[in-house]
Amino acid sequence: MSTATLKPPFPGTSATRDGSEAVVWVETQASTGAASYPITPSSSMGAGYQVAVANGKTNLWGDKLVFLEPESEHSAASVCEGYAAAGGRVVNFTSGQGLILMKEVLYTIAGKRLPMVYNIGARAMTVQSLNVHAGHDDVMGVADCGWGMIFGCNAQEAADLCLISRRTAEESHTPFFNVQDGFLTTHTVEDMLLPEPELIKTFLKSPKDALVSLIDPDNPLMSGTVQNQDAYMRGKVAQRAYYAQIKDNLKANFDEFYRLTGRKYNLIETYRMEDAKYAIVGMGSYMETARATIDAIRRNSDVKVGVVTVRSYRPFPGPELVEALKDVEVISVLERMDDSAAPENPLARDIKAAFADAIWGHNEYPAIDRIPILQHGSGGLGSFDVRAGDFQAIVKNMERGKEGTIRYCIGIRHDDALTPPKEEVDLRTEGYFAMRGYSIGGYGSITTNKIIASMCADLFGLSVQAYPKYGAEKKGMPTMYFLAVSNSHIESHQELKLVDFVAINDINVFHSGNPLTGLSDGGAVFLQTKYTSPEEIWKALPASAREEMKRKQVRLFGLDATKIARDIARNPDLIHRMQGIVLLGIFLKVTPLAKEKGLDEEHVLSGVEDIVRKYFGKRGEQAVEDNMTCIRKGYQDVIEVPLNSPDFQGGE
């Protein structure tokens, strides 16, 4: 996505949202109903829509929203089919096995030309084990069903492409998948521009004007009949006419959206390809990391490498990809899946086919006289971290040309794996500040991290990115959470190894690893502790941690957030969750952000209250007051251990 220089009529409303919340915002304004069955990581989308229905929300044309949750994903797809056939503007939210379970119905939805949108939190399929995290196995498993398929890289793109998918679906009479990476986008909070209601109403027709009922008794027609040898093929091949127009519809809608918002999208998006000798190609959230990494590579070397992000997988932009890639020497296609039984994964296979069409002179393709070397690999399966170092390794592999590993993988130990460099490029931007936290599922730390992100965006005017890391078990088990803030857009989507602040809600983390790894010199550490004196807090730490803190001249803070929550929570069930919100006050006290913005305690806490009210106001004034009390006590009561004092120099 790129942005315009001239101010457009609908630039968007500043907000902080994760990818799930972003599409729910759009769909509760635009659609008339949803049918969905909960499955991780798309459940929060359905839950958000369901809350809107429970609150009696209407869409922008005054239609009261409805939500149906049948007994399975297959049934949800059938409900969507019937709802759309009756002329309704319907949406579904699903992932993984749920999407594959629907496949039988997906064919008939496309065949009946029912223009709906499915918002997908793309998830790895259960193969040798179950995994609920990001993968593209599920969406590639339904790529042959006749649906359009668009990929976003972040929350902003998830929201915008949701709208663009809807309009294109209705103009081309073709259903669309709007795909974002499960957890890595669905659960990552970022600053963004929400599409205004006025934009949505301008960009889309009303449901009544855009859609027709196929089961109107006053205008009867046949659809979904049984056809034998004499008729079936005629009907199936006749559908080519619908697909022939989709690409032009989509491009026109990208252009119109750009005119209205200043946010520009294309079938593919090229970055620094003008002089590129090597090109990285892919889809989804890690492509932002790819762009940031090649910027660093170009700054530090004379290697000419570019990035091509595939936005539209269906319709497939074959001629556009050949045009973008025909002059490079080596292409490397990274995909978030591993189709081991095929020569390559789906995107690489389609790119190879596009070049085959071009080389023999297909009249829709650019003229070429050579095909670049095509390397292809797998990475990020099950949300495995894809880092800048992985892209550095991909570039090194491309420099080896045909002698490189043609089918590779990244991030793991394997015979086909590419080896990352010892020194990973630093992707931090101006004004960058990062926090890494360790907690227990159910302690409220993940929610607090979201609120801190909102505060940093709304109160300090910073670009933010906040996301959790936890397993399928989550509650009661160890979790990690990350927060990055910066003066400019944060492009890298990777776990934070270099941080300025470490928050430790669970001291047991010292038994399973070193939470101080990557902490900057002079950084800060907060420790949840039952102790009330600096001496006791210090002695409770392992000797190795004390030594490292002294060496790095760390600022150490401690507080019993659990006791604060226990004293304030009016419901015993809230004690665990409320201890997390105490961290917000500690964050404000310990980090330099408020001071850098010239804000005093009164101003900061007043701004925080507005944000807390946004999150907890629906639970009543008492809930807001209780959370603010926790935050104030975190700010005022946190204990600093004076490590520069002679009393602490001995380490005991």
Indicate the SS3 state at residue 332.
Answer: strand
Ramachandran quadrant class, 383 (left: phi over 0; alpha: psi -120 to 50; beta: rest): left
Q: Which two structure tokens, joined as six digits, stand for 115?
A: 């223009």
The structural domains of the chain, ordered by start, are 12-261 (3.40.50.970), 268-409 (3.40.50.920), 433-648 (3.40.920.10)
Q: What mean pLDDT is reported for the chain? A: 95
CA dist 49 and 90 (Å) reads 12
Q: At what angle do helices 286-300 and 388-399 cross, to 10 degrees?
A: 60
- Residue 141, SS3? coil
Structure tokens at 131: 């995994």
Indicate the pLDDT class of residue 4, thresholds 50, 70 and 90: low
Asked whether the bond before 534 is cis by omega within 30 degrees of 0, the reply is: no
Asked if 410 contacts 384 with a C-beta cutoff of 8 angstroms, the reply is no
Give residue 651's pLDDT: 47
Short-list 152, 83, 86, CA closest to 119: 152
Predicted confidence band of residue 575 (pLDDT cuts 50, 70, 90): confident
Confidence check: pLDDT of 568 > 70: yes
Predicted pLDDT at 489: 93
Whole-number Å distance between alpha carbons of 88 and 80: 9
Q: Coil, helix or strand for 118?
A: strand
Read off the pTM: 0.95
Counting residues of the chain whose pLDDT is more than 70, the rounded percentage is 99
Q: What share of the chain is helix, strand, coil (3-state, %, to 5)?
A: 40, 20, 40
| Sequence-distant (≥ 6) Cβ neighbours of residue 238 within 8 angstroms | none
**What's the rounded mean pLDDT across residues 72-76?**
98
Mean pLDDT of 576-583: 86
pLDDT at residue 475, rounded to an integer: 73
Of 186-195, 425-434, 643-652, minimum mean pLDDT range: 643-652
Return d(Cα 303, Cα 322) in angstroms, integer. 22
The pLDDT tens digits for 33-43 are: 999 999 999 99
Given pLDDT bands bounded at 50, 70 and 90, which one contains residue 258?
Answer: very high
pLDDT, one tens digit per residue, over 551-563 is: 999 999 999 999 9
Whole-number pLDDT of residue 87: 97
pLDDT for position 580:
87
Which among 505, 467, 473 has a CA at the least distance from the CA of 584?
Answer: 505
Residue 5 has pLDDT above 70, yes or no: no
- Cβ atoms of 287 and 313 within 8 Å: the answer is no
Window from 7-16, 481-490, 604-613 with minimum mean pLDDT? 604-613
Sorting pLDDT into bands at 50, 70 and 90, what band is 614? Answer: confident
pLDDT value of residue 473:
64
- Residue 175 near residue 117 (C-beta atoms within 8 A): yes
Can you tell me whether residue 44 is helix, strand or coil? helix
- Tell me: pLDDT of 476 over 80: no
Residue range 481-510: mean pLDDT, rounded? 95
Give the residue from 20, 1, 32 showing the smallest Cα distance to 120.
20
User: In the predicted model, is pLDDT for residue 442 greater than 50?
Assistant: yes
Give residue 572's pLDDT: 77
Which is more confident, 264 or 445?
A: 264
Angle formed at CA 463 by CA 459 and CA 468, multiple of 5 degrees: 100
pLDDT digits (tens, 9 = 90+) for 287-310: 999 999 999 999 999 999 999 999
**Cβ-contact 154, 432 below 8 angstroms:** no
Residues in the chain: 652
**pLDDT attached to residue 649:** 65
Please give the C-alpha separations between residue 381 and each of 65, 219, 333, 338, in angstroms, as whole numbers: 36, 49, 15, 8
Q: In the structure, what pLDDT confidence band is assigned to residue 2 with cuts at 50, 70 and 90? A: confident
The whole-angstrom separation of Cα 24 and Cα 50 is 10
Question: Three-state secondary structure along 204-259?
Answer: CCCHHHHCCCCCCCCCCCCCCCCCCCCCHHHHHHHCHHHHHCHHHHHHHHHHHHHH
C-alpha span between 64 and 88 (Å, rounded): 12
Separation in Å, CA 136 to CA 100, 103, 129, 381 = 12, 15, 16, 8
Position 617 scores a pLDDT of 86
Question: Strand 463-469 relative to strand 478-486: parallel, antiparallel, unpaired?
Answer: antiparallel
Question: How far is Cα 118 from Cα 131, in angstroms, rounded to an integer?
Answer: 21
3-state secondary structure of 179: strand
Which residues touch 335 (CB under 8 Å, ≥6 apart)? 136, 282, 283, 345, 346, 347, 348, 376, 377, 378, 379
What confidence tens digit (pLDDT) does each residue in 222-257 have? 888 999 999 999 999 999 999 999 999 999 999 999
pLDDT digits (tens, 9 = 90+) for 122-138: 999 999 999 999 999 99
CB 336 within 8 A of CB 345: no
Confidence tier at 470 by pLDDT (50, 70, 90): confident
DSSP 1-33: -EE-SSPPS---EEEEE-HHHHHHHHHHHH-SE
Is the predicted pLDDT of residue 328 greater than 80, yes or no?
A: yes
For 167, half-sphere exposure in the C-beta direction (CA atoms, 13 angstrom radius) is: 23
The Cα-based distances of 580 to 29, 418, 442, 449 in angstroms read 32, 39, 9, 9
Name the nearest CA neighbour of 325 among 375, 397, 392, 277. 277
